[in-house]
Structure 1
Amino acid sequence: MFHDYYLRGPDRDTTRAALLAAGLTIEIEDEDDEPRRVPAEGVNLSTIGRIYEGGEWDAEGNVVTPPTALPGWHVNLRLERPLTVGEQAALAGFVVTPVPGTPYRVWA
């Protein structure tokens, strides 16, 4: 059984910092000795980023009316266990409740 969480932070960097503080991501060095963040063991993340709604395009694909960005930076989180108390504390204010009725992206 999986436990899915829909996260919304104010922006990319703040959301990434909360995931790191929760221990859900870790920093490693890549092959060029550059730091990069990856999901921790047993953590699945699907970064959506900004979500847009609306917009209108003509037959050639040109924007007639630009779409509107919804507030926040969006990430889907999937675990094989519920969030721990510590993880919940680090993600306070980021977990979307109630769960969206029609999520932008779902796990297959």
Structure 2
Amino acid sequence: MSNNTGNTIVAILAGVAIGAGIGILFAPDKGSKTREKLKDGFDDAKHNLQDKYHDVSEKLIGKAKALIAKDDIDGNYENIVSTLSHKTEDVISFLENKLADLKLKNAKFQK
């Protein structure tokens, strides 16, 4: 969990606790109504935390997928470069052989 997310969760929980304490001290309603309001407040805070957790989870999953895709692309790139390097060596060897043959043929004409 990142530091910002941790700070946000602590701030939300502190706000809920302070709000509940002030609500109890200044509650004009009966105890049962005050408890119901507290329960509703805690439920709202719980849903807010779940929503934030879901958002953070989705962002992390998206970043992880992007990193995995990047690794796949990097791996494919390395394979392509390696294959091309081998093919280039093959072409160079072929051209060197042809050049040697041409030099031999040219030497015959110069005698």
Which protein is richer in strand relative to its size? 1
Flag whether TM exceeds 0.5 (same fold).
Answer: no
- Structure of higher CA gyration radius: 2
Instruction: Compare relative contact order (CA 8 Å, sep 6+) and give the higher one, 1 or 2.
Output: 1
Structure-2-length-normalised TM-score: 0.24
Structure whose residues are more often helix by fraction: 2
Q: Could you state the TM-score of these two structures normalised by the residue count of structure 1?
A: 0.25
